[in-house]
Amino acid sequence: MTSNFVPIDWVHTTNIYEVNVRQYTEAGTFNAFAASLPRLKDMGVHTLWFMPVQPVGKKNRKGTLGSYYSISDYLAINPEFGTLDDFKSVVKQAQSIGFKVIIDWVANHTSWDHVWTVEHPDFYSKDENGQFRPPYPDWADVIHLNYENKGLRNKMIDAMKYWINETGIDGFRCDMAHLVPLDFWIEARKELDAVKPLLWLAETEESSYHQAFDITYTWEFLHQMEIYWRNETGISGLDSVLYKYDSVFPADAMRMYFTSNHDENSHSGTEYDRMGDAAKPFAVLCALWNGVPLVYSGQELPVKKKIQFFEKDVIEWTSDPGLHEFYKILLTLHFIHPALRAGDSTISTLRISTTNDDHVFAFLRKKEEKEVLVVLNLSERKDLHVEITDVMVTGVFKNAFSGTMIDFTATKSYCMGPWEYLVYVK
């Protein structure tokens, strides 16, 4: 299985920051969010992913404000966030200082009161009584689209094209992409990439969808990290999923790694609820393994609460987010270091053996002489003695966080604190 498309080169080095406009500021608008662009630029963020910017349906909505993912008009802006000109302005501001901007695209379903329910009722799946129906019973605020209808396919592609032409966005994050036929996405990408080469991110773990998409999700690994924290698996459990990914996905497939996002935070809790003290070393793993790192709104604070999804629940920003520098180091290193490019067949990602592999997860990213070594103590063990036994680790490295130098040719032995993370750059 090979992709029908070649990713734009910058996609290999990008990271993604998910923007929850509603909860980002008290105002909850594009203009209010724009004030954070300089801070996010300094933090090393490269691609901004805006959760759906279209209006939310009112019929059968959940909660007071409803779900972003229940869209009533693909060609309009959610007035809660501002105007179309406001969105165009924030896109322009972001791109002018080096960001790429992608938007969420919800192609599987719409709200019950979407404009198409009147204009094109034939675009929808129907139940045995000929009535609109949800994709699943518990998705009661949305109704399912029918991709056997050629007219729907054309209209959907036209709607996506509108956002490229009208606002100049750089790509799409496609919600529940595997619920929409793969051949539609291939058709859409052919048409839309002809307008402008784009980043294509699919919320799916179906490997076949790399025929249309550059990047897919790693839900299974996220849940494996959570299982690890609960002591229901060991280091071998983490390895098993990563080895599975290597065997199932194309060698050049890019995967998005994360410890949180809007789904996990709102439904299951923060990364600290789900991963405890392992949250930070796992964030290092997600940023530097072979993939594309994702940071969700507020993780840099860090946010320690579940952010409500259907109500106003503002992120409580401080003037000095505590993990700003932590993410700055990781995101900048991922962006600039040649050995950290995602989906690049010229780069090796190698697990490194140590004398304490029951507690230590170590790996090396390598492109010729350029190397990044990551050593994670995934345990509460204090003064954990670690000796790297792998012969391939040699030479002088610089600690990306402390700046200290270490010569792994002279010594490969040191002690680590509980949940400590070490990142060395050769």
- Banded pLDDT at 1 (limits 50, 70, 90): low
SS3 264: helix
User: Are 174 and 203 within 8 A, CB to CB?
Assistant: yes
Q: What is the mean pLDDT of residues 284-300?
A: 98
> Phi-psi category of 16—alpha, beta or left, where left has phi over 0 and alpha has psi -120 to 50?
beta
Question: Quick one: pLDDT at residue 413?
Answer: 87
pLDDT at 420 over 60: yes
* Gap between the Cα atoms of 99 and 196, Å rounded: 16
Cβ neighbours of residue 177 closer than 8 Å, sequence gap 6 or more:
107, 185, 202, 203, 204, 206, 209, 213
* Eight-class DSSP state of 295: E
- Banded pLDDT at 411 (limits 50, 70, 90): confident
Question: Quick one: pLDDT at residue 295?
Answer: 98
**pLDDT tens digit sequence for 204-250:** 999 999 999 999 999 999 999 999 999 999 999 999 999 999 999 99
Write b or e for each residue in 133-160: b if 16 or more Cβ atoms lie within 10 A of its Cβ, otherwise e: bbeeeebebbbbbebeeeebbebbbebb
* Eight-class DSSP state of 279: H
pLDDT at 127 over 70: yes
**pLDDT tens digit sequence for 326-377:** 999 999 999 999 999 999 999 999 999 999 999 999 999 999 999 999 999 9
Rg (CA), the chain: 22
Give residue for tokens 């792994």. 408
Task: Tell me the average pLDDT of the chain.
Answer: 97
- Name which of 76, 23, 18, 71 is nearest 49 in CA terms: 18
How many percent of the chain have pLDDT more than 70? 99
* Gap between the Cα atoms of 338 and 341, Å rounded: 6
* β-pairing verdict for 100-105 and 47-50: parallel
Q: pTM for the whole thing?
A: 0.97
* Gap between the Cα atoms of 22 and 56, Å rounded: 12
Phi and psi at residue 374, in whole multiples of 5°? -120, 130
* Structural element, H or E, at residue 351: strand 348-352
* Gap between the Cα atoms of 177 and 69, Å rounded: 13
Cβ neighbours of residue 196 closer than 8 Å, sequence gap 6 or more:
164, 170
- Banded pLDDT at 412 (limits 50, 70, 90): confident
* Structural element, H or E, at residue 415: strand 413-416
Give residue for tokens 């053996």. 353
Cβ neighbours of residue 61 closer than 8 Å, sequence gap 6 or more:
67, 70, 111, 141, 310
SS3 406: strand
Question: Quick one: pLDDT at residue 137?
Answer: 93
* Eight-class DSSP state of 269: -
